[in-house]
Structure 1
Amino acid sequence: MIGRLRGIVIEKQPPEVLLEVGGVGYEVQMPMSCFYDLPELGKEALIYTHFVVREDAQLLYGFNHKQERALFRELIKANGVGPKLALAILSGMSASQFVVCVEREDISTLVKLPGVGKKTAERLVVELKDRLAGWVSHDLFTPAAVTLPVASSALLEPDAEQEAASALIALGYKPAQASQIVGKVAKEGMTVEAIIREALRSQV
């Protein structure tokens, strides 16, 4: 199993990053909560990975910290939760925010995440509440507060809204819904990542 990669960030196409390690490019899908913290293109990144082998694909999922990967692994153990849904959940909120929602049995917030209906939210609470007890209080995760990146002074990138909408679709939103959400939050000076972050925050 591939557990960790250290390499140069070659491409960033949310929610996927291409990391060059020893001349080999690894395509790694990351939750947006981790993607935001990636270094700039050409810089070195250290990513903790979870390797998934299916009949039709071999996929790498990446995280900035071992604790985020640990939560991802707990999520995919839950009944009816696969890697794609786990990725969407951890894109919609930080690891600490998710744990708090589970501890408080906050179903109303969980159902706002893409792909999470009431039954799935209730199942997540039932199956994970005991397993995640005390994770936040032991400082295993970053604070729940989220800060937006400072927008550049440049105008909105021509394809920024389209790329942001594509990222939301990859995370489980329907095309029409993704376009609508992006259209409401996109403003001049915002990068693709900033639009995605604000779009996800607006849903939770």
Structure 2
Amino acid sequence: MIAYIKGNLTYIQDESVIVEVQGIGYEIICANPFVFQHLLNKEVLISTYHYVREDIQVLYGFKDEDQKYLFTKLISVSGIGPKGALAVLGTVNVADFVGAIEREDDKYLTSFPGVGKKTARQIILDLKGKLTTMISISSTDSDHELQHKEVNQNLAQLDEAKEALKALGYTDREIKSVLPKLPNDENNSTDTIIRKALALLMKN
């Protein structure tokens, strides 16, 4: 098992990064490769999961160990493969996701691509009580509801900003490259996010 890759980050693609180690380039599939944008051409250490099947070998990479741990648990759930797990990790806060499992919040879980009601129930059945060591669940129900509302609002604002940038002629790759640097709290309007994105894009 390859637990991590340490080397020079030489290239960032739409779905992966390339890390060179002693003259060998390792392609690592990531939920959002552009979270590593600030480390381009620098030494990085990326936590990895070596996925092996009869017809395929893939390295999946993560920005931290919590993401990696959640990924390994998600792919153990019937109906969720690596692509589905990455789709969840691409937009989720790990603590929020674990909290939703503990609260049996089907509505939250089904908001992710490829997760229907049946799969959401399977996630809860398989993982409830097994992930709480990753986070400290001490908030009240009202705190969770507010946090959930804020997360959904933030995602909606980012989606609106992305569509506006596309309308201005920017490509998905260009937009993805600045996403990790954009403000993501409820105090920022869609216009604020767009202005920040445009400033970053003009620098690139």
Aligned match of 2:20: 20
SS of the aligned residue for 2:96 comes to helix
| Unpaired segments ≥5 residues, structure 1 | 139-143, 149-155, 168-185, 195-204
Q: Give the residue type in structure 1 aligned to 2:11.
A: E
Cα separation, 2, equivalents of 1:159 and 1:129:
44
Q: Are residues 1:161 and 2:160 paired?
A: no
Aligned match of 2:184: none
Aligned match of 2:30: 30
Percent identity reads 38
Identify which of structures 1 and 2 has the higher relative contact order when contacts are C-alpha pairs closer than 8 Å and 6+ apart. 1
Aligned match of 1:190: 197
SS of the aligned residue for 2:75 comes to helix
More helix, by proportion: 2
Alignment of 1:1-204 (within 5 A): 1-32=1-32, 35-37=34-36, 39-137=38-136, 160-163=170-173, 187=194, 190=197
Alpha-carbon contact 1:8-1:21 (below 8 Å) kept: yes
C-alpha displacement of 1:163: 2.6
Alpha-carbon contact 1:48-1:63 (below 8 Å) kept: yes
Cα deviation 1:78-134 (Å, max 9, x = unaligned): 111111111111112022221111112121121111111111111111111121134
Structure 1 residues 76, 159: CA separation in 2 closer, same or farther (over 3 Å shift)? farther
Structure 1 residues 3, 134: CA separation in 2 closer, same or farther (over 3 Å shift)? closer
Alpha-carbon contact 1:39-1:45 (below 8 Å) kept: no
4+ aligned runs moved over 6 Å, structure 1: 144-148, 156-159, 164-167
TM-score, structure 2 as length reference: 0.67
For the aligned residue pairs, the C-alpha RMSD in angstroms reads 3.7
Count of aligned residue pairs for this structure pair: 165
Aligned match of 1:174: none
C-alpha displacement of 1:24: 0.7
C-alpha displacement of 1:190: 2.2
TM-score, structure 1 as length reference: 0.67
| Unpaired segments ≥5 residues, structure 2 | 138-146, 156-164, 178-192
Structure 1 residues 121, 129: CA separation in 2 closer, same or farther (over 3 Å shift)? same
Cα deviation 1:19-53 (Å, max 9, x = unaligned): 11111111101123x75255332011101110112
